[in-house]
Amino acid sequence: MENEHVSLEGEQVRMLMSCPMCGTDHLVILTLDQYQRFLDSRIKGMYIQTALPDVDPATRELLITGICPACFSIL
């Protein structure tokens, strides 16, 4: 995604994502395992809820579209 910055801090992957609708920055923190499953889901075309069942739906939506929960609720 073009509106994200990814950094590794210890055992966590931090993704700073900017919502394309409102421009607000959101920090998504994943474990290394979750981040790898997220990348695998994008490469293999699998559903994100299958790859990341342990991540809440609003965060999964942010990972897929970049749209924050507030903006998604008005769509």
pLDDT per residue as tens digits for the range 52-67: 999 999 999 999 999 9
Q: Lowest-pLDDT range, 5-9, 25-29, 39-43, 61-65? A: 5-9
| 2: pLDDT strictly greater than 90 | no
pLDDT at 59: 96
Q: What pLDDT is stored for residue 70 in this prediction?
A: 95
Looking at residue 31, its pLDDT comes to 97
Would you report the helix, strand and coil content of the chain in percent, each value rounded to 5? 40, 25, 30
Q: What's the sign of the alpha-carbon dihedral 24, 72, 66, 21?
A: negative
Q: Return the pLDDT at 45.
A: 95
